[in-house]
Amino acid sequence: MRVVLAEDSVLLREGLIRLLEASGMRVVATSGDAEGLLRAADEHRPDLVVTDVRMPPTHTDEGLRAALVLRRQQPELAVLVLSQYVEERYAAQLLSSATGSVGYLLKDRVADVTEFIDALRRVAAGGTVLDPEVVSQLLLRGHSDPLDRLTPREQEVLKLMAEGRSNAGIGQELVLSEGAVGKHIGNIFTKLDLSPAEGDHRRVLAVLHFLKIRSVL
């Protein structure tokens, strides 16, 4: 697996390279800032990008912005975002376009080497990895379980959303027009009590509802 790594702390970057290489991945390029990451991802066309959120020059959320750009430019590229803090807003933004091939983890998780490498592999394989802390934050908001109010069709749509399909992808799979998919999604949001004020969150929340239910089963 070919990986591009963006992390501005040299210490941590070296450590991550060692860790990834020890696990049989190949770090084809590294960068200390977001611009370098975009260039490297364009040049090397890796399977997976691992990036820190906070990087020079502004030390705010350029890593996250770069990840969003990459997901738009190369939809097949898997992206794992590492952050010192998890913020549900960041998670929502990452998952707003599609929910597959993406991960968002607390930096601390690299300490649990085996789990971390496992998460990388899952993201690269098209899965979604959200930090347990984000998930618990988002699930705290849920009250009773309205999932069983969904029609079978809506549940199918939700399941595909959870697998990271875009509206068009869901339409293809279920042989529906994109407009019909949009209508189903609107119904799902309503039934899950996700008001339009939640904006970008709704897709994530809906998916998380689904993930929660499924993991219980």
Partner 1 sequence: MKVPRPWSARTWLDTAHVVTGLPIAVVLAALTVVLAVLPPVLRRSVRGLTAVQRSRLAAFLGFVLPPVPRSTAWRDRRLWRQIGFHLMAPVLSAFAVVLVCGLWGGGVVGLTAFLQPVLQPPPGVFRFDLRNPLVASLYTAVGLAMLMLAPIAARAMAVLEISIARALLGPSHAELGERIENLQESRAGVIDAADAERRRIERDLHDGAQQRLVSLAMNLGLARATLTDLPAPAKEAIEQAHEEAKQALRELRDFVRGLHPAVLNDQGLDAALSGVAARSPVPVRLRVDIAQRVSPTIEAVAFFVVSEALANIAKHAQARAAEISVRRRDQWLTLTIVDDGRGGASMEGGTGLRGLAQRVRSVDGSLHLASPLGGPTMIEVELPCE
| Closest distance of CB 159 from partner 1, Å | 25
Comparison of 93 and 101: residue with beta carbon closer to partner 1: 93
Q: What is the x/- site pattern for partner 1, positions 68-107, by CB under 8 A?
A: ----------------xx-xxxx----------------x
Comparison of 65 and 159: residue with beta carbon closer to partner 1: 65
Distance in angstroms (rounded) separating the CA atoms of residues 82 and 120: 11
Stretch that binds partner 1, among 35-43, 135-143, 149-157, 160-168 (CB under 8 A): 135-143
| Closest distance of CB 9 from partner 1, Å | 4
The residue from 50, 54, 128, 131 that contacts partner 1 (CB under 8 A) is 54
Taking CB under 8 A as the rule, does residue 11 contact partner 1? yes
Comparison of 15 and 179: residue with beta carbon closer to partner 1: 15
Which spans of this chain sit near partner 1 (rule: CB under 8 A)?
A: 9, 11-12, 15-16, 18-19, 22, 54, 59-61, 84-85, 87-90, 107-108, 110-114, 137-138, 140-141, 143, 197
